[in-house]
Amino acid sequence: MMREPYPVSVPGLPERVTIYEVGPRDGLQNEPSVVPLEVKAELVGRLADAGLSVVETTSFVHPKWVPQLADAEELLTVMPRKPGVRYPVLVPNERGLERALRLGVTDIAIFGSATETFAQRNLNRSVAGSIRMFAPVVSAASQAGMRVRGYLSMCFGDPWEGPTPIERVVEVGRELLALGCYELSLGDTTGVGTPGHVSALLAAFADAEVGPDRLAVHFHDTYGQALANTLAALQAGITVVDASTGGIGGCPFAESATGNLATEDLVWMLHGLGIETGVDLASIVRTGGWIAERLGRPGPSRVVSALSEK
Ligand code: HMG
Ligand code: MG
């Protein structure tokens, strides 16, 4: 029988957390090789079957920039879908939105940067230029009845610019929300954040009247801080946490970006804190192990390696 954590609740934490699964998108965008379409489609199906209610599937970006996700149209056509599950896709510009609209997508995410260097590297524009690029996307998408999430990258530090000033993160974050995003996901793209920094950033957003109900957190685990950072975010009232099965992932345009917080490690911690997720631990562990096999190497998730049959 699969081991489970022993639940011990802590006062002041949320009763339920939504895990926003990004494995098929953030996980596979950084793979050295292109993962076959059937594997991607099976991954999406397995994640929804494990009980995840949001599965970010792919990106409608320039196929030359991210060849790993150039099959976005095909994936959306063949992947299995479960009623009640949302399947967001990344869309940077109007061209991406046209592609998403043709496929009947209902949830998209735009993705800005808190730093100029990463905005240039990831979007080929300044921070202000990228917000100008997103504005018509958010308004047309909202008019078409889509839900639009905003991501903000490099919220803690940037490999070229060093620590990101908290007031700058709040400023750019508020601009993205003001475009009409229902939620802003704060990205620690290269995993340099630590828990006190997370608390300070969330407090600065609260001071600027952006409460935890409008925010999500998106941690990469480069320095092993992702779970500790998540706990700090839960203490500040955050109830949406991004994660990727098996801990796969990273951004090809950010130096030293490694895998996201592993969904399995997150589920273990949340269930141990008595927090509901709706995710079946045994099922997501099997998926984390299965995708690692498909990618041909063991994944970084500690919970997957602890619970997988040897
Ligand atoms: P650009 O080169 O400035 O684009 O790239 P452009 O508007 O000048 O257009 C140039 C050509 O690209 C045109 O074609 C367009 O039609 C075409 P041409 O006329 O030359 O034949 N084009 C497109 N084709 C297909 N789909 C599109 C599209 N857009 C233009 N959507 C652009 C600007 C934003 C497109 C480019 O920089 C890009 O694709 N960037 C994607 C970067 C990316 O996907 N990064 C990874 C995701 S972000 C991330 O991982 C961080 C996150 O996880 C949070 C965190 O961890 O912090 C979210
Ligand atoms: Mg990311």
- Mean predicted lDDT score pLDDT of the chain: 96
The DSSP 8-state label assigned to residue 261 in this structure reads P
State if residue 65 touches ligand 1 by the CB under 6 angstroms criterion: yes
The model's confidence at residue 106, banded by pLDDT at 50, 70 and 90, is very high
Q: Is residue 41 part of a domain?
A: yes
CB contact burial 228-265 (16+ within 10 A = b; e otherwise): bbbbbbbbbebbbbbbbbbbbbbbebbeebbbbbbbbb
- What CATH number did the domain enclosing 261 receive? 3.20.20.70
List, in order, residues 6 or more apart from 143 with CB less than 8 Å away. Answer: none
C-alpha span between 205 and 246 (Å, rounded): 30
What is the structure's pLDDT at 187?
98
**Domain residues for 249?**
18-307
What is the bridge-based pairing of β-strands 162-163 and 183-188?
unpaired
138-147, 165-174, 296-305: lowest mean pLDDT where? 296-305
Residue to mutate, 61, 124, 152, 225, ligand 1, most ligand atoms under 8 Å from C-beta: 61
Closest residue to atom 30 of ligand 1, CA basis: 62
The model's confidence at residue 310, banded by pLDDT at 50, 70 and 90, is low
State if residue 59 touches ligand 1 by the CB under 6 angstroms criterion: yes
Report the candidate in 183, 178, 166, 233 with the shortest Cα–Cα distance to residue 13.
233
Q: Is residue 3 part of a domain?
A: no
Question: pLDDT by residue (tens digit) across 193-238?
Answer: 999 999 999 999 999 999 999 999 999 999 999 999 999 999 999 9
C-alpha span between 151 and 122 (Å, rounded): 13
What is the structure's pLDDT at 298?
87
Q: Is residue 130 part of a domain?
A: yes
What is the bridge-based pairing of β-strands 58-59 and 89-90?
parallel
Q: Is residue 81 part of a domain?
A: yes
Residue to mutate, 29, 69, 95, ligand 1, most ligand atoms under 8 Å from C-beta: 95
Structural domain count, the chain: 1
User: How many whole angstroms from 110 Cα to the centroid of ligand 2?
Assistant: 12
Closest residue to atom 16 of ligand 1, CA basis: 95
Q: Is residue 2 part of a domain?
A: no
Q: Is residue 290 part of a domain?
A: yes
The alpha carbons of the chain give a radius of gyration, in whole angstroms, of 18
For residue 145, is it left (φ>0), alpha (ψ between -120 and 50) or beta? Answer: left
**Of the bound ligands, which one is closest to the alpha carbon of residue 153?**
1
- pLDDT(309) > 90: no
Question: pLDDT by residue (tens digit) across 134-154?
Answer: 999 999 999 999 999 999 999
Closest residue to atom 13 of ligand 1, CA basis: 62
Give me the percent of the chain exceeding a pLDDT of 70: 98
Tokens read off for 104: 């009947």
Q: Which of 75, 251, 262, 303 is catalytic?
A: 251
C-alpha span between 195 and 262 (Å, rounded): 17
What is the structure's pLDDT at 251?
75
Farthest-apart Cα atoms in the chain, separation: 54
- pLDDT(241) > 80: yes
Question: pLDDT by residue (tens digit) across 266-275?
Answer: 999 999 999 9
Q: Is residue 8 part of a domain?
A: no
Question: pLDDT by residue (tens digit) across 61-79?
Answer: 999 999 999 999 999 999 9
User: How many whole angstroms from 55 Cα to the centroid of ligand 2?
Assistant: 14
Q: Is residue 286 part of a domain?
A: yes
